[in-house]
Structure 1
Amino acid sequence: MTTHRSKLDLVLGTITDGVLVVDSQGVVLYANQAAEKLLARSPIVGQSLAIPVNPDKNSYQDINLIRPNGLAWAEMRSAPLEWDGQPGYVIALRDITERKHIELERQKFVSLADNSMEFIGMCDMNLAPFYINEAGMRLVGLDSLEQGVRTPVQEFFFPEDQRFILDEFFPRVVREGHADVEIRFRHFKSGAEIWMLYNVFFIKDSTGEPAGFATVSRDISASKQVKAALREASQRKDEFLAMLAHELRNPLTPINNAAHILDRLKQEDPRLGWATEIIKRQVKHLTHLVDDLLDVSRIVQGKISLKKERLDLVEVIKAVLETARGFILAKQQHLDVRLPEQPILLEADSVRLSQVLLNLLDNASKYSLEKGRIEVNVQLLGAEVEIEVRDNGTGISAELLPTIFDLFQQGSRTLERSQGGLGIGLTLVKQLVEMHGGRVTASSPGAGLGSTFSVRLPTIIEAPPCPVSETPTPSPNAGMRVLVVDDDADVRKSTALLLELNGYEVKMADSGKQAITLIDTFHPDVVLLDIGMPGENGYQVAQCIRRLPNGSDLLLIAVSGYGQAEDLTRSQEAGFDHHLVKPLNLTTLCNLLEPKFANKLN
């Protein structure tokens, strides 16, 4: 018996399954080493185990094993057995703890996946799906998991996107372990597109070998629709602003021309000269406001461009001060200005510098009480010029000071100072100053103690003298013929009269058809052609002019209320030599005509 028991111990000691013999009360009569290890008890013979067995027949079941080191699972087989004359049972235990953990994790995953509203799926390395959750099937219109399993991954996408998925996207997932892309899923029933954020993960097995791919993808169709609507709204806004600017520029042109005509015709009465200067200055200000209107989107995107020229900063400041005196005097505020006597030469955009200074003065006036004091101090500091705008107004709190130049940032408003603006002025100031290679700072002793804004800009050593007037010196008997084409009678007549006062021979046309006829009889050297005309627009007329026998010799200048980059490109493509934006700057126009006049004389 001992020999048989020893042989039994030797045989059962070599297997990985646990083997037990228990009596009818569950007391262990025999256990091999695997059983002791599985149950984490040694020695175990003589101990009582609460293991359920079927007393009548062989049984098979999974059981929980409570061990000192935690819960485990075992696959149990049992059968009645007589051991040393005692009735009992032989029990075989196979450790399935790892498998159970895997099953539990899988159940958790399936439970989470089935309750998720996102598309969750898995496929093998050949892109053949083997799991899609309920939400995923509903989302793409699958009737069953079987239908999804029979459908290769690429079929979930539109034909034009499949090559990208196969040749670019999944190889990137393999290289990087994970990738995501916004792409359209195809609804299997309706064929409709469903925009998804497609997140794909590379799956490896326990040995590190490739096993397949998993995805957790989110429906972003609604956000795509919102973005598309926002893009459309933004486009409509840009179109509206461009149209609004065009409509505002059209009446500014004859007003501006009339002001220059008055300037030519003014007599001894100084009041006429004073009124003329007011008109010219305010037209210029309105023109700048219209330009700023079109800069709204550019400010947010940081796409403001500069048109630099050599200029005298002192003259720019003087012009801005004339504009600012209106709103400063309206509040009976005192303006103290200290400017250097000599010119200060900069390479800068006069319009944008005017915006900077006007915004700082406007800010100082708004946040100062009536009869407050505003100071403007300008001084040279080596290779830089410093412009200080100081006020004794509400000041800036310590909390606001670090963010004063942020977009839409404002101090608190009170009823007596309710007009605080939109909160973009100082942001624009900072952007424009930095684009000029300068810097701007703000300081304040505190709330109620006033504030100081300091702008520093680089200067240049020398420059040609700056023009002091927009109105060029007349050129009597210039002998140059100019044809003005515009359907707006005020624009047409005022432009023609202004050119005549400057010595040019001028004819007018109110349509493209009339312009073509006059070119044949008048033989102009220059054609000023409005773009927005009824019937044939300026682009179409320009193309017709260029096809005339002498059309290539004409200086063709587009005149328009539209001045966006795409408008300039379209003018160039239509055959125009130059594109001017209304209201016309007479100095700019005459500078364009001078080379043509010089060639004619030669």
Structure 2
Amino acid sequence: MNHPSLFESVFNSSPIGNYLLSPTPDAIILAVNDTFLKASSRTREELVGMSLFAAFPRNPDDPEDRGEIDLRRSLACAVDTAKPDSLPAIRYPIRVELPNGEVVFEERFWSAVSTPIFGEDGSIVCISHTTSDVTEQVRAAAALRESEKRFRALTSATADVIYRMSPDWTQVRQLEGRGFIKDTADPNEMWLDEYIPQGDHDLVHQAIDEAVSNKQAFELEHRVRRIDGSIGWTLSRAVPMLDAHGAIYEWIGAASDITERKEAEAKLRDTDRRKDEFVAMLAHELRNPLAPIRAAAELLQMAHQDPQRVRQTSQIITRQVMHMTNLINDLLDVSRVTNGLVTLDKAPLNIRHVLMEAVEQVTPLMQSRQHHLAIHLPPGSTVVSGDAKRLVQVMTNILSNAAKYTPARGNIELRTEVHPSQVLITVTDNGIGMAPELTGRVFDLFTQDERTSDRSSGGLGLGLALVKSLVELHGGTVSCESPGPGEGSRFTVGLPRQDAGDQVLAPQAAEHGAGVAAAPLRIMVVDDNVDAATMLAILLEAAGHQVTVEHRPEDALERIREARPQVCLLDIGLPGMDGHELARRLRQLPETADALLVAVTGYGQEETRAHALASGFDHYFVKPIDMAALHQLLAAASAG
């Protein structure tokens, strides 16, 4: 048998790259097998007889190319120790000449074993150097590490909790992420018992059973124990991992903390419910005055009514219209305040005057319910800066609220305490009180306590919301306290105090009488609402004025020369040409250039008032008209 031929055959057919090197520092290539030639894209003629490091030089432009250093160290170790030396996967770029003549270094990774070969005398005759190209394995491992790094970064960055579950969902195998879900000391504990509140077990079990049975994704919103011990909400999604036989061996999922969203949804539902209750109550409150108004109107149509009965009926209509007007004004006030459309007319005010005017307004209500009102005011002058009308409105609302919710013959106390930097005003009653949870939201819009079906206390849940907004506009605070149902309530308003020195107090508003006399005037009423125009004309004629009524703006313009009105009461929402345009045209006519133009409209917004005054109107009245104020205006016009 030819042993050299057999050795050469085995050497060349080995699937592992191999070459024989001289045991000298320059490592001359003595032989190289076909596998290595194929891996290195070289020929035997190019390599045999050359130094290994000349055949495969390092890249001079790559400072990280340490392949030659590591390989020299390994070969030297094999020679010095006379034992094989292994190299792990080392980076050893290979010089490659491209078809265009350009030389590049292709990044490659190799694992190698250098084994000394001994002669008969025991000396090392050569080094057998076996190599394996592990470039793909190294790159795959690097890609895996990078993928794992990205996964770790993702789980650290996300607000979600990433989890792995056993196939039957009885055990948590791993939790990653921000960890809003409660931790567990023992990962083998039952998952549901540890993380899910008892009340949601059935819901979660049902969704899990369905997902497991159908081998489909699990997705469910449910409650969960949070890491701070509270009960929150999570949106949990998980997908099944299937083995080669289609069996579930694990679940991978993510849980999102949706507690804030669920709380916001609950708050919206509560607000929507309270809005619906408010609309129903508004309808009830508006129907209440409509019933006596309708009955009174029918009574006035009957013949042979004595003057006393007519006067009594008229008083009923007036009171009920005022009640409806106050309801509508509250609605408009809340809308203006909450949208930031209210401008305060601030001036130094004596708080005593504000409080006494508010008491005067609620006295009829308290007298009708036989309440005892105790008033404790500071002596002298205590000054705050504010809008007198709005502060009176605040205190009137609080006192009215106390009166409404205090049974007949109950006690109400108004007390003022003066501190260096603020004035505290408290209204205390021994009325029905309220539950502790209501005191925190009693100033929210549409908020009311439980009420009986007759709505005997009245109100729309607007007054206290308006109080809070107006007090805060004044830089103050308002709060509510109650020991509980049946224990009464205390409302406290705090307003910044001002130094009374060098302050000029605003004068109190004068009362406007309803029967101010006025010399007869020529008045034109323009309103497309026939009934409203007719009744207004009757009232004005009863006061001695000469009144012309038109329902269309075009007809009004045609009649100007004949009527030559001194005062024009114009509706804004007229058909075709609105009141703004009509006012502008009247200002251009010589007959009405100096006439007193008064807007009469159902629109009460501040921007509508400003638009009317810019159009040429002198005054602005919101329907239903305050006739006392109108008579006073007409008296001033006739006197001028």
Normalised by the size of structure 2, how large is the TM-score? 0.49
In the alignment, which of 75, 81, 96 is matched to residue 109 of structure 2?
A: 75
Query: Partner of 1:222 in structure 2?
Result: none
After TM superposition, the structure 1 = structure 2 runs for residues 95-114 of structure 1, keeping only pairs within 5 Å, are: 101=142, 105=146
Measured in 2, the distance between the counterparts of 1:275 and 1:454 equals 40
Aligned AA (2:72)? N
Classify the secondary structure of the residue corresponding to 2:400: helix
Structure 1 residue 581: Cα displacement = 1.3
Measured in 2, the distance between the counterparts of 1:496 and 1:572 equals 23
In the alignment, which of 465, 487, 512 is matched to residue 449 of structure 1?
A: 487
Cα-to-partner distance string for 1:488-529 (whole Å, 9 max, x where unaligned): 344323333443455544333233233223320121222111
Query: Partner of 2:72 in structure 1?
Result: 32
Higher relative contact order, structure no. (Cα contacts within 8 Å, ≥ 6 residues apart): 1
Measured in 2, the distance between the counterparts of 1:563 and 1:34 equals 95
Cα-to-partner distance string for 1:217-268 (whole Å, 9 max, x where unaligned): xxxxxxxxxxxxx9xxx9xx9xxx9xx99xx9xx99xx9xx99xx9xxxxx9
Worse-matched range after superposition: 386-395 or 548-557: 386-395
Query: Partner of 1:558 in structure 2?
Result: 599
In the alignment, which of 410, 425, 448 is matched to residue 373 of structure 1?
A: 410
Asked whether the 8 Å contact 1:17–1:34 carries over to 2, the reply is no
Q: Does 1:337 align with 2:376?
A: no
Alignment CA distance shift 1:97-1:572 (3 Å):
farther
Query: Partner of 2:397 in structure 1?
Result: 358
Measured in 2, the distance between the counterparts of 1:364 and 1:585 equals 26
Measured in 1, the distance between the counterparts of 2:452 and 2:75 equals 84
Classify the secondary structure of the residue corresponding to 1:553: coil
Query: Partner of 1:316 in structure 2?
Result: 358
Cα-to-partner distance string for 1:448-476 (whole Å, 9 max, x where unaligned): 4322223355698755454334415203x
Asked whether the 8 Å contact 2:520–2:546 carries over to 1, the reply is yes
After TM superposition, the structure 1 = structure 2 runs for residues 63-462 of structure 1, keeping only pairs within 5 Å, are: 75-76=109-110, 84=125, 88-90=129-131, 101=142, 105=146, 279-298=317-336, 300-301=338-339, 303-306=341-344, 313-323=355-365, 329=369, 334-339=370-375, 348=387, 350=389, 353-354=392-393, 356-362=395-401, 365-366=404-405, 371=408, 373-377=410-414, 381=418, 388-396=426-434, 401=439, 404-406=442-444, 425-436=463-474, 438-446=476-484, 448-455=486-493, 462=505
Normalised by the size of structure 1, how large is the TM-score? 0.52
Asked whether the 8 Å contact 1:408–1:423 carries over to 2, the reply is yes
Query: Partner of 1:542 in structure 2?
Result: 583
Query: Partner of 1:578 in structure 2?
Result: 619
In the alignment, which of 557, 565, 570 is matched to residue 524 of structure 1?
A: 565
Asked whether the 8 Å contact 1:441–1:455 carries over to 2, the reply is yes
Query: Partner of 2:183 in structure 1?
Result: none
Measured in 2, the distance between the counterparts of 1:272 and 1:44 equals 132
Classify the secondary structure of the residue corresponding to 1:389: strand
Asked whether the 8 Å contact 2:354–2:388 carries over to 1, the reply is no
Measured in 1, the distance between the counterparts of 2:536 and 2:136 equals 99
Aligned AA (2:535)? S
Structure 1 residue 396: Cα displacement = 4.9
| Structure 2 residues without counterparts, runs of 5 or longer | 1-19, 29-50, 59-64, 97-106, 118-124, 155-267, 301-305
Worse-matched range after superposition: 527-536 or 403-412: 403-412
Asked whether the 8 Å contact 2:431–2:486 carries over to 1, the reply is yes
Q: Does 1:488 align with 2:529?
A: yes
Structure 1 residue 290: Cα displacement = 0.7
Query: Partner of 1:6 in structure 2?
Result: 25
Worse-matched range after superposition: 286-295 or 454-463: 454-463
Structure 1 residue 301: Cα displacement = 4.2
Measured in 1, the distance between the counterparts of 2:628 and 2:431 equals 40
Query: Partner of 2:191 in structure 1?
Result: none
Aligned AA (2:25)? S
Q: Does 1:514 align with 2:555?
A: yes
Measured in 1, the distance between the counterparts of 2:146 and 2:543 equals 90
Query: Partner of 1:130 in structure 2?
Result: none
Query: Partner of 1:471 in structure 2?
Result: 514
Alignment CA distance shift 1:492-1:295 (3 Å):
same
Structure 1 residue 351: Cα displacement = 6.5
| Structure 1 residues without counterparts, runs of 5 or longer | 21-29, 52-57, 61-72, 114-229, 263-267
The structure that has the greater radius of gyration is: 2
Query: Partner of 2:242 in structure 1?
Result: none
Asked whether the 8 Å contact 1:19–1:35 carries over to 2, the reply is no
Classify the secondary structure of the residue corresponding to 1:5: coil
Structure 1 residue 429: Cα displacement = 1.9
Aligned AA (1:468)? E
Alignment CA distance shift 1:35-1:75 (3 Å):
farther
Alignment CA distance shift 1:414-1:362 (3 Å):
same
Measured in 1, the distance between the counterparts of 2:454 and 2:546 equals 57
Measured in 2, the distance between the counterparts of 1:503 and 1:598 equals 15
Asked whether the 8 Å contact 2:85–2:115 carries over to 1, the reply is no
Measured in 2, the distance between the counterparts of 1:274 and 1:350 equals 31
Measured in 1, the distance between the counterparts of 2:87 and 2:21 equals 25
Classify the secondary structure of the residue corresponding to 1:473: coil
Measured in 2, the distance between the counterparts of 1:509 and 1:487 equals 8
Cα-to-partner distance string for 1:337-377 (whole Å, 9 max, x where unaligned): 235899999853547734653355336644x5x55724143
Asked whether the 8 Å contact 1:308–1:350 carries over to 2, the reply is no
Measured in 2, the distance between the counterparts of 1:36 and 1:520 equals 124
Asked whether the 8 Å contact 2:479–2:492 carries over to 1, the reply is yes
Cα-to-partner distance string for 1:382-403 (whole Å, 9 max, x where unaligned): 8987654322244455666555
Aligned AA (1:76)? W
Measured in 2, the distance between the counterparts of 1:270 and 1:343 equals 46
Structure 1 residue 575: Cα displacement = 3.4
Measured in 1, the distance between the counterparts of 2:458 and 2:81 equals 87
Asked whether the 8 Å contact 2:110–2:133 carries over to 1, the reply is yes
Supply the RMSD in Å over aligned alpha carbons. Answer: 5.9
Measured in 2, the distance between the counterparts of 1:280 and 1:34 equals 111
Query: Partner of 1:216 in structure 2?
Result: none
Structure 1 residue 428: Cα displacement = 2.5
Measured in 1, the distance between the counterparts of 2:441 and 2:84 equals 80
